[in-house]
Amino acid sequence: MIRFIVVSDSTGETCEQIINASIAQFDVEEKVFERFSHIRDIVSLNKIFDNIKDIKNTLIFYSLVDENLIEAMKKNCDLIGITGVDVLTSSIIAIERLLGQEPKTRPGALRSLDAQYFKRVDAIDFAVRYDDGKDPRGVLSADITILGVSRTSKTPLSMYLANKNYKVANIPLVPETPVPKEIFEIPAKKIIGLTNSPEKLNLIRKSRLQALGLPPNSSYSNMDRILLELDHAHSVIKKIGCPIIDVSERAIEETADIIIRHLKKINNEI
């Protein structure tokens, strides 16, 4: 398990979004967040570190604009030997140099509640609500729907795209479960099928089972079962007539880039 401590002079949502987008690039089975919001004085900051007893598998992500708080954060991290990630300073410095302006140091200034912010929050909420086939009706209002067998990165890909403001629903394809009727009520171009190589799925699923403390040789990772699932998925995707992406040798951002380009293309056609 990885523990993320989030410290912010505002709500801390920006930090968590960055962490989740970064985690999507790795096989992280368990994570826990501890968020400390509206930290605007050194006393409050120091209290956070007074309660940190274990730094194993722990990272601190912070979004602070006050220079004194940033320095105090760095000193505290150094004292206990924990890695601290400053998510704002480098961006602020780059923009300052480009514009030749002094940055505003008002806490929370970078989190203005504009239309783009709300659009992203709505997209993330949508991805969580319609993840893993929880409610197939979500495909009717999704920007894109992702189909695929288990462990083809449907969820992390959905979250990555949500952070790009796209509303994504994802549906698992399982031979014993009927394909939701809603899938056939939307244009095929608004659906993406994901596939993976049997060998890669076998390794990923065995690793998943071991992480859960289960026998790695269960039916979930059995090669015959995997081949059955892939055959079923391919037949469904072929019936729908939607694009298919092989994710076996692609990082999340590569697959997302293909989908975003596809979305821009179909949106231009509307």
pLDDT recorded at residue 270:
52
Confidence of residue 212 (pLDDT cuts 50, 70, 90): confident
Identify the sign of the CA torsion 217, 219, 224, 229: negative
Average pLDDT, the chain: 90
Residue that wins the pLDDT comparison between 179 and 11: 179
Written as one letter, the residue type at 25 is: Q
Residue that wins the pLDDT comparison between 90 and 124: 124
Q: Which two tokens stand for residue 49?
A: 């570190």
pLDDT recorded at residue 143:
97
pLDDT recorded at residue 236:
98
Q: What is the pLDDT of residues 37-66, one digit of tens each?
A: 999 999 999 999 998 888 888 999 999 988
Among candidate residues 158, 154, 161, 156, the one with its CA nearest the CA of residue 233: 154
Residue that wins the pLDDT comparison between 118 and 107: 118
Q: Which of 19-23, 153-157, 217-221, 257-261 has the lowest mean pLDDT?
A: 19-23
Confidence of residue 92 (pLDDT cuts 50, 70, 90): confident
pLDDT recorded at residue 133:
94
- Average pLDDT, integer, range 105-134: 75
- How far, in whole angstroms, is CA 4 from its chain's centroid? 15
Confidence of residue 208 (pLDDT cuts 50, 70, 90): confident
- How far, in whole angstroms, is CA 270 from its chain's centroid? 28
Question: Is the confidence at residue 110, as pLDDT, over 80?
Answer: no
pLDDT recorded at residue 109:
54
Question: Is the confidence at residue 22, as pLDDT, over 90?
Answer: no
Q: Which domains does the chain have, with CATH numbers?
A: 2-99 (3.40.50), 115-269 (3.40.50)
pLDDT recorded at residue 82:
92
Measure the CA–CA gap between 10 and 7, rounded to whole angstroms. 9
Measure the CA–CA gap between 124 and 118, rounded to whole angstroms. 10
Confidence of residue 6 (pLDDT cuts 50, 70, 90): very high
Q: Residue with structure tokens 């929880």?
A: 134
